[in-house]
Amino acid sequence: MSSIAPNVALDALFRRNATLRGDKPALRDLDGVSLTYGEAANAVVNVAEQLAALALPPKSAVALLLPNGRELVTALLAVIRCGLTPVPMPVAWRKSDLVRACREIEAVALITTAHFSNENLPQLATEVAIEVFELSFPCAFGVSLPDGVVPLSLDTVNESLLASALLSNASAAGIGTLQPSSGGVSFALHSDEELLAAGLGAMLAADMRGGDTIVSAISFTTFAGLSSVLVPWLLTSGTLILLTDIPAAGALELDKNTHVVASAGALPVLASSIETAIASALAVHFAGTEELTAFPALNARTAVDVIALGEHCVIALPRRERSLTAPLPLGEFHAGNGGASAPVILETRVNKKQLQVRGVIVPKDVLGDQEWLDTNFTAVENGTGSVYVTAPEETLAIGALRFDCPDLERRIRSAALVSEVYAVEDPVLGARLVITSDRPEVTAEALLKAGLPRVVASAVQMAENVRAKAR
């Protein structure tokens, strides 16, 4: 299968946008702070020069522990500008998750921020650096940082820090993502070609056009987030609004050229806060698909299902009927499911009830020497040459966060005394973890102290209350 992605790097796309649309809005946070393309370009250069002063080895991994916002986008593009490999990580992860992940990717630096709620992420970064031998440079945006943390700024910085900074001319290897595997995490490296092919598919499926606005409640910690948000933004040179929380009704000033991206479970909640007509709504499925799934009553011109098959593949499909999830076509998949005239970016087939894929989108380092890649997702044929898929039973998807169930239960039980650990369906998160204990407050505190994510600790309930509801 020949390549269909433009022969251009992500960094080159951003440079082009900065040159042609310097005074146009590029980034906006929920707090109202915005950057034009010119301002964003200056911020990227400033951060890149600060990173270059650290003299990190070319193509080495840099972990990004940053919430949705301008710091995340700027840091990611700055790392690429330096010829390094950014690996975004969920801010919900705690120390043990971060240590395992940084060891897996052999991170030489970690970038975080002091500008996130009441979370002390810079202190967390120093603790992770102590335990990860390769991680020599914990860095953070903000002031009053712990000792040993390298300060970063989006603005012009002290010239003495930049005295030895020379930006690398070497091309970046790509962007890395992580997914849970038995007893840890596994790494996937996505080249610019793979990202552009997947992003083109999402852009065509949603009919995104030049200068459009993208509102995203999905972070860049997954292939789905990168391909359905970051890449379409770079391709359309529009405005990107990143959300860290569901806004109040009317808080977002949107128009008919806006595209909203969120997990399939969170999209109905996000939809309730949007009062205007929009161009499209993209529902990202992290735990498989079902034929009958309600779509939010959004006044959107186009509805799109984005099916994330772990970190192996992302397929964007326009939804023909609002009550029916778009099934995955078998055989050649055309970008945006646009028919024979659209470029082919993927091939799919079923082998022993497992969905297999190959093509431009599939990460080369994951495919290796195999002709077809087994996604580990079970395929359920619907009789029309298409399939619906279900995630591996051992994987629990809570929104965009995914856990290896046996490993997660083992870590929970080793950290605290609990009665039961199980998952239930949830309209917002897709799945919700339930942990029962006779001493819920003590248990939750013990889980946090053991380094488990806050989304896990918040799942603890009083055992007696759960038993009473069951009666």
The CATH number that applies at residue 306 is: 3.40.50.12780
Structure tokens at 289: 């698909």
3-class DSSP state of 430: strand
Could you say which of 390, 417, 435 is where a domain stops? 390
Half-sphere exposure of 344 (CA within 13 A, CB side): 13
One domain, residues 147 and 208: no
Q: What is the DSSP letter of 385?
A: S
- pLDDT, residue 162, reads 47
Do 386 and 404 lie in one domain? The reply is no
Residue 409 in domain: yes
Residue among 279, 288, 282 nearest 270 (CA): 282
- Tens place of pLDDT per residue across the chain (471 aa): 334 445 689 999 999 999 999 999 999 887 778 899 999 999 999 999 999 999 999 999 999 999 999 999 999 999 999 999 999 999 988 898 899 999 999 999 999 999 887 789 999 999 999 999 999 999 999 998 999 999 999 886 544 444 444 565 567 889 999 988 776 889 999 999 999 999 999 999 999 999 999 999 998 999 999 999 999 999 999 999 998 877 777 677 788 999 999 988 888 788 777 888 899 999 999 888 877 666 666 788 899 999 999 898 999 998 888 778 888 889 888 876 666 667 788 899 999 999 999 988 998 888 888 899 999 999 988 777 889 998 888 888 887 888 888 888 888 999 988 888 888 877 667 778 889 998 899 999 999 888 888 888 888 887 655 444 544
Q: Give the count of beta carbons closer than 10 Å to the beta carbon of residue 207.
A: 16
pLDDT computed for residue 356 by the predictor: 93
Partnered with residue 186 across adjacent β-strands are 179
Structural domains of the chain, count: 3
Residue 66, Cα to own-chain centre: how many angstroms?
A: 11
pLDDT at position 265, please?
82
Q: Which domain holds residue 228?
A: 188-390
121 and 197 housed in the same domain: no
- 207 in the same domain as 327: yes
Residues 149 and 48 in one domain: yes
CATH number where 450 lies:
3.30.300
Q: Is residue 1 part of a domain?
A: no
**DSSP letter assigned to residue 58:** T
Q: What is the pLDDT of residue 3?
A: 41
Same domain, 249 and 165: no
pLDDT at 225: 95
Q: First vs last Cα of the chain: how many Å apart?
A: 58
Residues 228 and 86 in one domain: no
pLDDT the model gives residue 147: 93
Structure confidence at residue 333 (pLDDT) = 84
Residue 9 lies in a domain: no
Domain shared by 241 and 377, yes or no = yes
